[in-house]
Structure 1
Amino acid sequence: MQKLFRSYLESFGGLRKEIWLLSLITLINRAGTMVIPFLSLYLTKSRGFSLEEVGWILTFFGLGSVTGSWLGGKLTDKIGHYKTMAISLILSSILFVLLQFPASFWSICIGIYLVMTVADIFRPAVFVAINAYSKPQNRTRSITLIRLAINLGFSAGPAIGGIIIKTGGYSGLFWIDGLTCLMAGILLLKLLHPKRSKTENEDIIVNAKSAMSDKLYLVFIFAMMLFGFIFMQYFSTMPLYYSDSRGLNEFEIGLLLGINGMTIFLFEMPLIKFMESRRHTATGYVILGTLLTGLSFLVINLTDWAGVLIVGMLLATIGEMIGFPFSNSFALARSDGKKRGSYMALYSISFSISHIFGHNSGMQLIDNFGFEFTWYTMLVLALIACTLLFILKAMLKKEAV
């Protein structure tokens, strides 16, 4: 047992202090955006909007995320990742506080759009910052540590948010969100001075190749859109399946979803350290992650045994643990010597687009064709994504010759 624990701790070794500080800032920032999981409840219960109106407001949420990712990439290429992250954190702290005041449908749509635009400027910049502060051999584990911070933040945020709503109402939620973003911004300015990064100026490359002119990278991005599209089902349509088709209650559904976060927390870093030591390409690992996620939808169609739901969740979680870090690592490696901000912006946008279309399309498929057909559709999309990644792998070999 001690050997296992020591091995677990060693998987975190060798990462630079700046990466740990960046993870702390990301943890505070993501835990602070606790209004997001309660957005639909706030809009229906506190503001009295219909479900149809909430659906449109959430569309503006996704559009803001796309705009923010694009703008974050542009800013990172022009002024560097450090200033871009600082601008995002400080401005979003103000906008989160102001978001409680709009009351009409259109004012809330505009408010949500502006908040997500400014908040998601942070995403491409933090990816570029990982590259600047980490050693090349530890790049994927550095990404994994940031992912752990994001997952812990999203796990802690809703729990803290529920207590705040119960004691101080939704207004307190907006104030806490604003203050935590401000705290993250202050920590960034105090602890992560740009002089500590030798490569800050490497973000700003004027006459370099942008992501949109890289055909191989565009193939990768389209595959990531498909991967994101199918993975999003675990947070929108899959809980409906657990309830309506399998008869699980909210507590049981919560436990199933909790397997995802707990497995990531316990095993992702050791798994990534083990896989990094093997001589396989990042694209090969992304193919594996995508395939496992697709198989998670297949297995739940094969039997009525209740335990298969756990098997499906574990397959999807392992697929996530492999697919996301190595796809991120590939995007960073592909951007070397190019307009890094544009590359990481496009990577972020691929998942923002998945958010916009994935949830609604999944709902429509279930409504028209049922769960079984929808899960087979997700498997087919995963296989298409794998095929694109195999094509990409072959093209990369030709490019290297």
Structure 2
Amino acid sequence: MADCKFLENAIQIIKRARDEDEGGNYSEAYKSYILALDYFMMALKYEKNDKRKAIIRAKTAEYLERAETVKSYLGNPELKKKVVAGNGGSAEKPSEDSNSKMKIALENTILQECPNVRWDDVIGLLSAKEALKEAVILPIKFPHLFVGNRQPWHGILLYGPPGTGKSFLAKAVATEASAKFFSISSSDLLSKWLGESEKLVRQLFALGQELKPSIIFIDEIDSLCSVRNDSESESTRRVKTEFLIRMNGVGNDLDGILVLAATNVPWLLDSAIRRRFEKRIYIGLPDESTRSKMFQMHLGDTPNSLSQADYKELASFTEGYSGSDIAVVVREALMRPIRMVQSATHFKNVVAPDRRNPAIQKTYWEPCSPGDPEGVPMSWMDIEGDALLEPLVTISHLFKALKSTKPTINSEDLNRYTQFTAEFGQDG
């Protein structure tokens, strides 16, 4: 449980903030809201129970929104007449052109530039890629295959540990699909105006239908559609209800629309939301073969001395590492030759191909040990920029980086994903 004092203090201060808020004393209300939010964050930090954390997180978001609203009143006294204290937003009706403004805001979430990530750039995840091709590429290229009872998937949920490639897969979909791609976060669908968040959700699906074929990608969907409970605000509940209605195809036709979502905590999703995603694909940790390819990919064309046997050895030592963990290991290893240059006290001349014209040999300075007979006492500051030859990245650099970079996923987390997949999902 959270430190009771943090939570108790937060609740007491919130009561004071609401009293000041209702009394129109917005300056004191704002100060109290901010102080209470600090206590809520401390309570959230020490809370271990997921359900209680979800409740605290929801309350934190609600009061943060209210604090921002109250702050806006401090600089404009006329707005005080439009306040409905404690409801988390103003009762003032949006302007007549609010629908067009919402449409413009949502159009800004459409990716205008291709992320340039191809299927081949996504290492592994064969089942996930095939499911996405089946849901996105085939219906667009061969629409005559999907008639009658054979319909493409309208909802796909990608879930798994952080750093396993869920968002990267979405970029590949955006690149490969000839469809409008909406990249949505919870902030794009939440508004301080009462009732406008639901309209944003409706407008999103209406715009998706207007521009179909379209893909609506919602990253971290758990922040928008967590389990419903009695403690959440009424505005949050209405947004979830509207999203459920649109995902079910009520009031609009989902033909030509794919809702693609990603989450690291699928067990926090509301069961009704979970049901709307017909395909729930587990994006797990990479296997040994995939890890070997990841090391090669991240090293790229950086000068190195690694062989295929070295890559396999590294893969065998990185069981439990995610794709992003491996990327961090390689980045750390790539910096080690630079540190060798910084700390070197002796350099020697070596002959190597010219950087601009490899057909020509050129003399460079390379760091060496003080005991090297060809070494010259000097520092990197004494060398002209183009005259320095960077040391090769070696297998030892990578193993040293492994010692200082631990995996971010533990066995307890993996067990939760395994349990969720057994109950609701499928392996990717």
- TM-score, scaled relative to structure 2: 0.25
Larger strand proportion, structure 1 or 2?
2
Q: Using CA pairs under 8 Å that are at least 6 residues apart, name the structure with larger relative contact order, 1 or 2.
A: 1
